[in-house]
Structure 1
Amino acid sequence: MFRVPAVDIAAYVDDGTAEERAVVAREVDAACREVGFMQLVGHGVPADVIEGLGAAMDAFFALDADVKRGYVRPACENRGYTPPRTESLSLSLGVEPASRMNDFFEAFNVGRAASEYAGQELPPEHFAENIWPDVVGFEEQVAAYFAEAGRVARTMTRIFGDALGLPASFFPGLTAPSIEVLRMNNYALEPGTTVELDGDLVGMSEHTDFGIVTILWADPIRGLQVLDRDGDWHDVVPDPGALLVNLGDLTARLTNERWLSTMHRVKPPVVDGTIERRRSAAYFHDGNPGAVVAPLEGCVDAAHPPLYDPVTVDEHIRAKLAGSRAGRRNDAAVREGARVLHAQR
């Protein structure tokens, strides 16, 4: 039976003993090997911070559509507002959707900005300045959650290092400064929208996440589906108080697919003839753009030859974003795309 395991990371958040942390590292290793997703508890994110994030999202997405479109930024910046049907995540895998740019979610993105790193030359596409909507409390509430999610992401990389037997300096060296983006998603049809509500309606098409690790808050509503190794899709709903964690492509490359970046999609259910609204917020921790990612020596042997050539974080993320946001098929995602084509639709 398919199951997303729950892992309690309190031993890392609250400075537990070495023995307690070793248990957590083993549980994370098992979850990464078997599923690539986990239900994370003991993460220490205050409930009021999560509630503030939800309130900020509600206030922004309730704005008039024309007002929201005023916050659209160039696709290369990965910031600001994304209107419905202007992306197709499957293109990031090199897989053509049934109709291009057909994902009906809307989103708002914020991230680390170059102005936070005085004196460093950073690619402006990955460290674009944020724009903040004219919504009372939005910036403060979102920034508070952004800081907490970043802390959880860095905690996860510490656990990853222990699980893989790497030096404590490995992931900090790979991720400083890191491309980090919080994408707040709203799955709902705009008032007055007419669309055929059938089984092919896609909230967010099949994709893997791009970087190292993703921290996901989501409403406890069906819609998120995860692909297992047999090519079957399974609904995943967060447990009460849990955050969902999944691996990105760069971690799959590092571990030579000992750990997988699990394929997932969003298909919110139809209730009373319309889409049941669902919210989520994904914090992407993607690494230093100049860092080179290649299979770790400890994950390569005669039985497991290297599956990937070295690539910089910058090159990989650019190719992925050009697919999802700019509509250019990413032909470099050969292994990920093959998994989509193998899936039971």
Structure 2
Amino acid sequence: MVFGSNGAAAAGGCCVLCGKDDETIASARVIREGTDKPTIMKPEAVSDAVAEDGLNIPLIDFSAFTLSDEATKRSTAQAIVNGFQKAGFIYLKNHGISKPDVTTTFSESAKFFERPMDQKLAMGWTTPEANRGYSQPGREKTTDLKSAAEIEAKRAEEGADLKESFEIGREGEPKHPNHWPDQFDEDGKVFKERMLEFHDRCRKLHMSVMQAIAVGLGIDEDWFDPYCDGGDNTLRLLHYPAVKSTVFEQNKNTVRAGAHTDYGSITLLFQDMAGGLQVLSPNGNFIDATPIEDTIVVNAADLLARWSNDTIKSTKHRVVEPPTKADMHPARYSIAYFCNPNFESFIDAIPGTYDDVRKKKYEGINR
């Protein structure tokens, strides 16, 4: 979770069994419940993105789910669920959002953060309920801690996160309007148009990934649709400014963004090639989730873990500064799309994730 300077938090069948040979999960044999006939994954559909210290994050060709025959679609969906169950993370390629769209969004993001500080502060983040607008460097400390005292102690130990951000929610919310730079100039109008287009593309991908999760869990493909079709999600632009190496030398605990899990269903993360994302391994070590060109990193979040009766993992991750011998650590940009169930949804254990032996771990809750 992300906490502001006041300590407030911002909202943002059986388990599938997948076998693996010694070389790669690309040829995973997936046994479906009720049959002894395995489905053979196409070799090019799944490979390892990360394989270190017990952490295996698959790289999955999402077109094998969206454009393939039913058998390949099903086995790809199972590989997606398997990745979330074992690592809490997957990489997706051929995900349906074009490279020009991603490049343009990164470019518009960089131009936004170049705006004068007085303009950015005029669009300032206000409340966790709204969760929209600009947060300046030094304002946030990303952590899983809940109490204000613990958060401030962590801030004192590690320092505030070395980043600035801008958050965009669903357009047209009368109580929580988005903040836009279109009040300043024509470039601001272009920015608004591009960001709303990208928000909608990510919304559609969120729906598709949730459909894949449904198929992988052995429930109806459209089971999540009524929970996720409202687009109550947050697009977050992130800029980690260039930092002198001495900042990290003076405090070895300083990070770009502290260790945390995300709140909602899934998060779509678009990285630049600078790197810095690390994921917690089963052995308790943070492992680099190295950027792979033209891919999206997707992680399961806390609410999906609860929804799945903890058959899916929400794994801790953080952003650090990659080692360098230079005097300055270069700027880093990323774009996160935090996906959530629709507001007012009632979240209870997904069918098939509990039975007489594996009991429900949680009571149902309203989103």
TM-score tier after normalising by the smaller chain length? 0.7 to 0.9
* Distance in 1 of aligned mates of 2:118 and 2:361: 46
CA 1:33–1:145 in 2, change beyond 3 Å: closer, same or farther? same
1:84 CA drift (Å): 1.2
Q: Does 1:49 align with 2:105?
A: no
Q: Which amino acid aligns with 2:296?
A: L
CA 1:47–1:196 in 2, change beyond 3 Å: closer, same or farther? closer
* Distance in 1 of aligned mates of 2:69 and 2:285: 39
TM-score by length of 1: 0.80
Unaligned stretches of 5+ residues in structure 1: 116-121, 314-345
- Number of corresponding residues: 301
CA 1:239–1:195 in 2, change beyond 3 Å: closer, same or farther? closer
* Distance in 2 of aligned mates of 1:189 and 1:70: 23
1:269 CA drift (Å): 2.8
SS in 2 for 1:98: helix
Aligned residue runs from structure 1 range 305-316, under 5 A: 305-313=359-367
Q: Which residue in the other structure is 1:155 paired with?
A: 208
Higher relative contact order structure (alpha carbons within 8 Å, sequence separation ≥ 6):
1
Q: Does 1:291 align with 2:352?
A: no
Q: Which amino acid aligns with 1:237?
A: T
Q: Which residue in the other structure is 1:167 paired with?
A: 220
Q: Which residue in the other structure is 2:62 paired with?
A: 9
Identify which of 303, 322, 338 aligns with 1:269: 322
* Distance in 1 of aligned mates of 2:145 and 2:154: 14
SS in 1 for 2:74: helix
Aligned residue runs from structure 1 range 1-345, under 5 A: 1=52, 2-14=55-67, 16-76=68-128, 77-91=130-144, 96=151, 98-99=154-155, 102-115=160-173, 124=175, 128-133=176-181, 134=184, 136=187, 137-189=190-242, 195=247, 197=249, 198-269=251-322, 271=324, 272-301=326-355, 303-313=357-367
Bigger Rg, structure 1 or 2: 2
Verify the 8 A CA contact 1:52 1:142 in the aligned structure 2: no
Verify the 8 A CA contact 1:178 1:289 in the aligned structure 2: no
* Distance in 1 of aligned mates of 2:109 and 2:86: 33
* Distance in 1 of aligned mates of 2:99 and 2:118: 32
More helix by share: 1
Q: Which amino acid aligns with 1:47?
A: K
1:196 CA drift (Å): 5.4
**Which 4+ stretches in 1 moved above 6 angstroms?**
none
* Distance in 2 of aligned mates of 1:91 and 1:261: 12
Identity %: 25
Q: Which amino acid aligns with 1:106?
A: E
1:194 CA drift (Å): 8.7
Unaligned stretches of 5+ residues in structure 2: 1-51
* Distance in 1 of aligned mates of 2:136 and 2:229: 31
RMSD of Structure 2 on Structure 1 (CA)? 2.4
1:91 CA drift (Å): 4.5
Q: Which residue in the other structure is 2:32 paired with?
A: none
Q: Which amino acid aligns with 1:131?
A: H
* Distance in 1 of aligned mates of 2:364 and 2:226: 16
